[in-house]
Amino acid sequence: MTSAAHGAMLRTARGGLAWGGVPYQGTAGSSLMQPTTLPARTAQPAGAPSHPYQLLDGWVHSRLADTSLGLSPIALALAHADWAWHLATSPGRQLLLAQRARELGLQAWSGSMTPAAHTPDTPDAPDAPADRPEHDLRFDDDGWQHWPYRAWKEGFKAAEAWWREAAAVEGMSAHHRHMVDFFARQGLDALSPANGALTNPAAVQAAMDSGGLSWLKGGQRLALDLLQAWPRLMAPPGAAPHRATALAPLPFAVGKDVAVTPGKVVHRNQLFELIQYLPTTAQVHAEPLLVVPSCIMKYYILDLSPANSMVRYLVGQGYTVFMMSWRNPDAGDRGLGMQDYLQRGVMQAMAVVMAQARAPRIHALGYCLGGTFLAIAAAMMARARRLTAAGSPPPRRRGDDLRPDVLPELASVTLLAAQTDFSEPGELGVFIDDDQLKTLRASMARKGFLSGREMAATFQFLNSRDLVWTRNTRRYLLGIDEVGSDMMSWNADATRLPERMHNEYLASLFLDDALAEGHYRCGSEGVALRDIDMPLLVVATQRDHVSPWRSVYKIHLLTDTDTTFVLTAGGHNAGIVSEPGHRGRSYQMAHTPRGQGWTDPDAWLAEAPLHPGSWWPAMAAWLAQHSSGLRKPPAIARTKVLGDAPGSYVMVRYAD
């Protein structure tokens, strides 16, 4: 189907509490109803400029953002002014910082003169506490223990420590303090001695061992990378991608190297395809499992190579797995909002799974933003089912199919690295305030979407030490060939987000924290996570820059249901893709029954048992515990098959 056809299909009327307002035909008791043809609706996003003066303002703001790498120069200036004025009017703080500079300088000098034995820690050791200081891989080489490299390293570490204290001045807003600290760290990371050809002992040693060939090889790579990036860097804002940078093949081909678990596409609408994976066991658990990935990423992060595919693992454990594959949007989809993704996406997928597997109860698993979507849908469904059981169902409207006879009962909900409270969003909070969102809206208004390249750059910025500087050191200074991996290939397969949906997501969830504070609405319905009454398995990761584990843990405050919390080693992606046999993995796991009350995260961390190895077997056992038995695998009707997995939507890529 062409992009124009998709855009026309998606510019449909919104109304009621059905799948984004899509009216359906069918009997009241039917488990899956067919959408009818709808009149077109405008794709004008909420808050779009309607006056020429607003258009002029938007143009100016977007030009300013282009000069500051997409960030709001106003937000940056306000944060700097907040810090500078409070520091300027705090002579006591200035004296204290001067004293700390002297102390840290003396410590650095003393440390550089007395080399210590090099004893690097192992970041993912099973006995490693979850919140110890992060291991700095930049200074792992033994050469950093010798003069003059040790002096440069100790001086740099002293500067880092001083700036951590200098960024926090009493009286500053928490957001501005976070911004100053974040950008100070970004600047220091760029100035690290590990980034210099002559100040990095590993780079110097590699050059001596190779007769300078490592530097020559790295310089050639740098020149080639700059040559490939030059057309994009020089292109005016909003220009079409240059042919030379259009689309390079992925190192791991989708459907050949990754996303190869056998399955069939059994449903397709304007938002997603639904894949049903083929069984590999004689019997399966009675409740199928619907996986809701994040629309910020391609779904196959959960179906990488066969050795580390969560989907393949769960199928092998006897689960009938269904996977949503979100469509990669184009400019015609700019009017798609959160309500569309919730109702025409997640809830419609649930209805299809119930019909396809002939199962009145299902398990549901959501990852990242998909987990946030799933938590909202679960709360809405639990409320509707409770009101219906009490004899006072919610008011019916035309096209409203949020009913227990249309949607399945959720036997359990699993949330992977998914936030529901956004008051402490971690490093992403640096980019979320009114000025930043205003700048972002002006940028997206030109295109109708947030490009995958912009999103990837944001995530690189969040962890620039590992994703930018450490990588550049190996590539350009050491001349080491990169060993490709399926996850790196997946990371390069970027996706877009529709303008309206991204605006609503950032404004309502991040900026207003509406879901946690109880004033989030889907259509005309209020959403309260307290309505969730099914068992929860909530998984967080120790070093998550996107969904900090303490923020994920706050779901204990927002719900009062049977909850099992898992804290696993690794980051946002690597901690989730933690297959059995992965070296150095470990996790903590503890159960909180309904009505037990609040346990603060530090107490949980101290008390939860530590287990070596992958957490996947624990998840499979937990799902089995909340299943009702075994049965023969549900057959896939030939008339329902639209194609083989991985489907067509996952193949859509854009050069921007």
Per residue in 621-648, pLDDT tens?
A: 999 999 999 999 999 989 999 999 999 9
For residue 236 the two structure tokens come to 């005016």
DSSP letter string, 8-67? HHHSB---TTSSSS--EES-TT-SS-EEPP--B---PPTT---SHHHHHHHHHHHHHHHH
Residue 379 — φ and ψ, nearest 5°? -65, -45
CA distance 344 to 12: 12
The pLDDT of residue 559: 95
Per residue in 181-240, pLDDT tens?
A: 888 888 888 899 999 889 999 999 988 988 888 888 888 888 887 887 666 655 555 555
CA distances from 487 to 249, 300, 313, 493 (A): 15, 10, 17, 10
- Residue 95 burial (CB < 10 Å; 0-12/13-18/19+)? exposed
The pLDDT of residue 246: 59
CA distance 111 to 154: 7
CA distance 653 to 656: 9
Q: Position of tokens 């709360």?
A: 379
Of 109-118, 259-268, 344-353, 509-518, the range with the lowest mean pLDDT is 109-118
For residue 268 the two structure tokens come to 């397709």
The one-character DSSP state at 599 is -
- Look at residue 372 and tell me whether its pLDDT is greater than 90: yes
CA distance 78 to 82: 6
CA distances from 189 to 182, 424, 465, 467, 654 (A): 11, 24, 6, 12, 31
Burial code (b: 16+ CB inside 10 Å, e: under 16) for 71-82 equals bbebbbebbeeb
Burial code (b: 16+ CB inside 10 Å, e: under 16) for 437-467 equals bbbbbbbbbebbbbbbbbbbebbebbbbbeb
**Mean pLDDT in the chain?**
83
Can you tell me the mean pLDDT for 467-475?
80
* Cβ neighbours of 63 (radius 10 Å): 11
Beta-ladder partners of 412: 363
The pLDDT of residue 405: 65
Cβ neighbours for 340, distance < 8 A, ≥ 6 positions apart: 10, 14, 19, 20, 271, 501
H-state helical runs in 539-610: 549-553, 555-558, 601-607
Judge whether 362 and 289 are in contact, CB under 8 Å: yes
The pLDDT of residue 498: 93
Beta-ladder partners of 587: 568, 611
- Residue 231 burial (CB < 10 Å; 0-12/13-18/19+)? middle
The pLDDT of residue 116: 55
Q: CA 382, 416, 582, 310 torsion: positive or negative?
A: positive
The one-character DSSP state at 123 is T
Judge whether 307 and 579 are in contact, CB under 8 Å: yes
Can you tell me the mean pLDDT for 151-180?
90
Judge whether 538 and 563 are in contact, CB under 8 Å: yes
Per residue in 405-434, pLDDT tens?
A: 689 999 999 999 999 999 888 777 777 777
Per residue in 551-560, pLDDT tens?
A: 999 999 999 9
Task: Please state the length of the chain.
Answer: 656
Per residue in 48-61, pLDDT tens?
A: 555 677 667 766 76
The pLDDT of residue 62: 65
- Rama region for 201: left / alpha / beta (φ>0; ψ in -120 to 50; rest): alpha
The residue among 290, 291, 319, 361 whose CA lies nearest residue 630 is: 319
Can you tell me the mean pLDDT for 65-93?
83
Instruction: Choose which CATH entry (3.30.1330.30, 3.40.50.300, 3.30.230.10, 3.40.50.1820) describes domain 263-429+495-651.
Output: 3.40.50.1820
Per residue in 556-594, pLDDT tens?
A: 999 999 999 999 999 899 999 999 988 889 999 999 999
For residue 118 the two structure tokens come to 């090099």
User: Where does the pLDDT of residue 525 fall: very low under 50, low under 70, confident under 90, or very high at 90 and above?
Assistant: confident
- Residue 367 burial (CB < 10 Å; 0-12/13-18/19+)? buried
For residue 169 the two structure tokens come to 């001045």
Output 246 or 331, whichever has higher pLDDT. 331
- Look at residue 135 and tell me whether its pLDDT is greater than 70: no
Question: Residues 55-61: contacts with CB within 8 Å, 24+ apart?
Answer: 58/441, 58/442, 58/445, 59/442, 61/438, 61/439, 61/442
Output 434 or 261, whichever has higher pLDDT. 261
Can you tell me the mean pLDDT for 147-172?
91
Of 267-271, 380-384, 477-481, 606-610, the range with the lowest mean pLDDT is 477-481
Cβ neighbours for 400, distance < 8 A, ≥ 6 positions apart: 16, 17, 18
Q: CA 250, 251, 257, 259 torsion: positive or negative?
A: negative
Please give the positions annotated as active site: 368
Q: Where are the domains of the chain?
A: 263-429+495-651
* Cβ neighbours of 107 (radius 10 Å): 14
CA distance 437 to 422: 16
The pLDDT of residue 68: 60
Number of H helices and E strands in the chain, helices first, is: 23, 19
User: Where does the pLDDT of residue 536 fall: very low under 50, low under 70, confident under 90, or very high at 90 and above?
Assistant: very high
CA distances from 627 to 404, 409, 566 (A): 19, 12, 20
- Look at residue 47 and tell me whether its pLDDT is greater than 60: no
* Cβ neighbours of 209 (radius 10 Å): 10
- Look at residue 121 and tell me whether its pLDDT is greater than 90: no
Cβ neighbours for 395, distance < 8 A, ≥ 6 positions apart: none
- Residue 295 burial (CB < 10 Å; 0-12/13-18/19+)? buried
First to last CA, the chain: 21
The pLDDT of residue 328: 95
CA distance 54 to 427: 31
CA distances from 475 to 181, 217, 317, 480, 628 (A): 28, 9, 40, 5, 53
- Look at residue 3 and tell me whether its pLDDT is greater than 50: no
Q: Where are the beta strands (DSSP E) in 432-512?
A: 449-450, 497-498
The residue among 339, 255, 234, 364 whose CA lies nearest residue 305 is: 255
The pLDDT of residue 254: 96
pTM for this model (two decimals): 0.82
Which residue type occupies 557? L
Q: 371: helix, coil or strand? A: helix
- Look at residue 345 and tell me whether its pLDDT is greater than 60: yes
Per residue in 60-78, pLDDT tens?
A: 766 666 666 667 778 888 8
- Look at residue 262 and tell me whether its pLDDT is greater than 60: yes
Which residue type occupies 492? A
